[in-house]
Amino acid sequence: MSKLIAIRHGQSTWNAENRFTGWVDVDLSEKGVQEAEKSGKLLQELNINFDISFTSYLKRAINTLEIVLKILGKDSKYTKAWELNERHYGALTGLNKAETKKKLGEEQFKKYRRSWDIPPPNLDMDSKYSSYKDPLYKDLKNIPNTESLKNTYDRVVPYFEKHIEKHLKQNKNIMLSAHGNTIRALGKKIFNISDKSINLLEIPTGNPLVIDFDNSGKFLNAKYLDESRKTKIISNQ
């Protein structure tokens, strides 16, 4: 049996300000650091060995992983992949969510934020938040200007199938430090969640999701480690 531990990074500075973040490379807040530390301690209690770790290009996920690995006494070796980045929020990037909801109306806001295949409007390439100006992506040819959850799924899942799934079939335990929509997209595949119900999958910050697989890589069960937060994997399918 193998385990995939999926951790949404601890609270970021923009999470704290209730802003759409996407590909903008903001760091953890003080609370986020504490959440990462708690994640490490929860994983420590599992008393299992981790064979390989993956994360995105974004420092809020990278720093969460490094904090966890330090608490576990593991070498901070990991694989970074832009495919594991958060969903790109297009023209919503940097905007306050409450103000945007008031401006757009609840229905349109919900479509942009939680629909399966409706992306927000494109982010202008000249925007200060555009990833075209970020040296992190100088070698990336297809930088998105916006993404729906489906677009995110279409890069996350192929990466998982090519680079991560094979380790699970070799009975290795994998740690993934990523983002809400990265893990939501992956959860859609692993838990076989419908397009309509995927918005119900809850991905809280700093609460490790433990997913068990059998020797063939088939999903067995899943649970969040911090049971005090009473987070459901999915409330209705």
pLDDT band at 132 (very low <50, low <70, confident <90, very high): very high
Residues of the chain above pLDDT 90, percent: 83
Residue 104 belongs to a domain: no
Q: Are 39 and 10 in contact (CB under 8 A)?
A: yes
pLDDT band at 236 (very low <50, low <70, confident <90, very high): very low
- 86 is known as an active-site residue: yes
Domain that holds residue 183: 2-85+147-229
Residue 197 belongs to a domain: yes
Residue 232 clears pLDDT 90, i.e. is over it: no
Averaged over 48-54, what is the pLDDT? 93
Higher-pLDDT residue of 237, 109 = 109
What tokens does 21 get? 């973040």
Cα angle 48, 49, 50 (rounded to 5 degrees) comes to 120
Catalytic residue (choose from 83, 86, 147, 165): 86
Catalytic residue (choose from 9, 35, 147, 165): 9
Give how many domains the chain has, as a whole number. 1
Indicate which CATH number applies to the domain containing 55: 3.40.50.1240
Residue 152 belongs to a domain: yes
pLDDT of residue 76: 78
Q: Are 31 and 16 in contact (CB under 8 A)?
A: yes
Residue 22 belongs to a domain: yes
Residue 26 clears pLDDT 50, i.e. is over it: yes
Residue 122 clears pLDDT 60, i.e. is over it: yes
| Complete DSSP assignment for 48-113 | ----EEEE-SSHHHHHHHHHHHHHTT-----EE-GGGSPPP-GGGTT-BHHHHHHHH-HHHHHHHH
- 227 is known as an active-site residue: no
pLDDT of residue 34: 97
Averaged over 92-97, what is the pLDDT? 97
CB count, 10 Å around CB of 172? 16
Residue 235 clears pLDDT 70, i.e. is over it: no
Residue 102 belongs to a domain: no
Residue 175 belongs to a domain: yes
The alpha carbon of 59 is separated from its chain's Cα centroid by a whole number of angstroms, namely 12
Residue 23 belongs to a domain: yes
Residue 210 clears pLDDT 90, i.e. is over it: yes
Q: pLDDT (tens digit, 9 = 90+) per residue, 149-159?
A: 999 999 999 99
pLDDT band at 217 (very low <50, low <70, confident <90, very high): confident
Residue 219 belongs to a domain: yes
Residues 6+ apart with CB under 8 A from 60: 9, 10, 12, 25, 26, 27, 28, 32
